[in-house]
Amino acid sequence: MENEFTDEDVVVGPISGMTRIRRIKFTTKTNNCKARLATVLDDSGCWRVSKVVHDHNHDLLPSVSHLMAGHGSVCDSLKRDLVAHDRSSIRPSKNIRLDEVQRGGPQNLGCTPKDCRNYILKSRNFEMQEGDAQSLLNFFREIQAAYEQFHDAICFDTTYLVNQYNMPCASFVGINHHRQSILLGCALMSHEDIDSYKLVFRTWLDAMGNVHPDAIITDQCQSISGVRPSKIARAEFKSMVLDSITVEVFERKWAEYISRYNLHIRNWFNKLYSEKEKWVPVYLDMYFWGGMLFTQRSEGMHAFFDGYITRQSTFRMFVHQYELAIRAKHEKELEAEYRSKGFQIVCESMFKWEQQTIQCYTRTIYEIFQDTAKKIVSL
């Protein structure tokens, strides 16, 4: 049995053991080239070349062979690189250029940039493979377990935009015993109205066993951002809020501030003062905040998703990159745990209470305690 293959024919199948030939016709422009390669299937089941015709009626262009339809397949190594770079939030255009550089030029890719882009889009459609859903459920259980231990103070933030639809990601961020931010849940919100916030809080509390946090930090409505104090008065305002050590001191400084800048007619300041028990530190000293009270509200989300989530992230990409971000954060927690338990802390005094604190605190918390103790002793 003899078969002939022309420039427009491609053989698909194993080299040995084939019983029939399947030819795939590509919609390429033909020019009746007489070049031929004839093969014969011998008795041992192997294909043997029986005839070769080298006479082409066109120029041979090996430098552009990768542009021909029959050469448009993406090799396995390139597939792995494309998927890995895509999961690292590298845009398709940069992803392809990176692979071109790594392989010494676009001619060495073995396919066209369009083939690479098509494969990236195709791979995204199959991100959620068998077992991925169970893996996410396991992460959710870990979040629930973390919330049971660290629900004292929670920061709720909606300022981080994560996808191409400009949908804010509402996040619940806590702090663990290593003073690391921990993600305790998040939700993509299509609307930022009161009913939507209620739904997010209600759903999150249901997932956490209806255990309410002891204290929660939220941002004020973004619509008031245009009526904040001027740059000159802002430093004084910050000092008034943060440096007042008693209620009486704050009340006196507030009255002086309002009078100095003639802010009696500003409704925003009047409303702010009426809610002072919710945001002025001197009124909140009876609550435990875990060091979160004076931190930027958006730092938690940036710490988690920086390098993973971008504005170009689709919903499907968000699910996968969310898992990667959680894994990376978990690894940092393990490093802090090893640093705390893997190395012995040397006492700097002979007091028994220092030895007790070493046994009770993690290394990070103990170092904070130690610095405070040194300042007290030096007074």
Whether 158 maps to a domain, the answer reads yes
Task: Answer with the one of 60, 83, 109 that is the final residue of a domain.
Answer: 60
Do 250 and 107 belong together in one domain?
no
User: Would you place residue 84 in the very low, low, confident or very high pLDDT band (cuts 50, 70, 90)?
Assistant: confident
Does the pLDDT at position 297 exceed 60? no
Q: What is the pLDDT of residue 50?
A: 86
Whether 339 maps to a domain, the answer reads no
Do 69 and 162 belong together in one domain?
no
Q: What is the pLDDT of residue 226?
A: 43
Cα–Cα distances in angstroms (integers) from residue 197 to residues 45, 187, 191, 203, 315, in the given order: 69, 10, 9, 10, 20
Please tell me the distance from the alpha carbon of residue 331 to that of residue 324, in angstroms, as a whole number: 11
User: Would you place residue 16 in the very low, low, confident or very high pLDDT band (cuts 50, 70, 90)?
Assistant: very low
Residues 228-267: tens digit of each pLDDT: 455 546 788 888 988 898 999 999 999 999 998 888 888 8
Residue with the bigger pLDDT between 156 and 32: it is: 156
Do 354 and 371 belong together in one domain?
yes
Do 232 and 277 belong together in one domain?
yes
3-state secondary structure of 373: helix
DSSP-derived pairing of the beta strands 36-41 and 47-53: antiparallel
What is the mean predicted confidence (pLDDT) over 305-332? 71
Please tell me the distance from the alpha carbon of residue 175 to that of residue 89, in angstroms, as a whole number: 27
Please tell me the distance from the alpha carbon of residue 126 to that of residue 83, in angstroms, as a whole number: 11
**The pair of three-digit structure tokens given for residue 246, joined into one six-digit string:** 């008693």
Do 139 and 210 belong together in one domain?
yes
Q: What is the pLDDT of residue 215?
A: 81
Domains in the chain: how many in total? 5
Q: What is the pLDDT of residue 299?
A: 57
Q: What is the pLDDT of residue 379?
A: 65
Q: What is the pLDDT of residue 92?
A: 81
What is the mean predicted confidence (pLDDT) over 138-160? 78
Do 179 and 38 belong together in one domain?
no
Task: Answer with the one of 100, 124, 148 that is the final residue of a domain.
Answer: 124
Do 177 and 322 belong together in one domain?
yes
Q: What proportion of the chain, given as a percentage, has pLDDT over 70?
A: 70
Please tell me the distance from the alpha carbon of residue 166 to that of residue 73, in angstroms, as a whole number: 35
Residues 87-107: tens digit of each pLDDT: 777 878 888 888 888 888 777
Please tell me the distance from the alpha carbon of residue 359 to that of residue 219, in angstroms, as a whole number: 37
Residues 157-186: tens digit of each pLDDT: 776 655 445 677 788 888 888 888 888 888
Do 313 and 195 belong together in one domain?
yes
Do 183 and 248 belong together in one domain?
no
Q: What are phi and psi of 280, to 5 degrees?
A: -80, 125
Domain housing 51: 2-60
Do 233 and 198 belong together in one domain?
no
Which residues, including other chains, have CB under 8 Å from residue 339's CB and lie 6 or more apart?
A: 363
Please tell me the distance from the alpha carbon of residue 50 to that of residue 46, in angstroms, as a whole number: 12
- Give the long-range contacts of residues 97-100, CB within 8 A, separation 24 or more: none
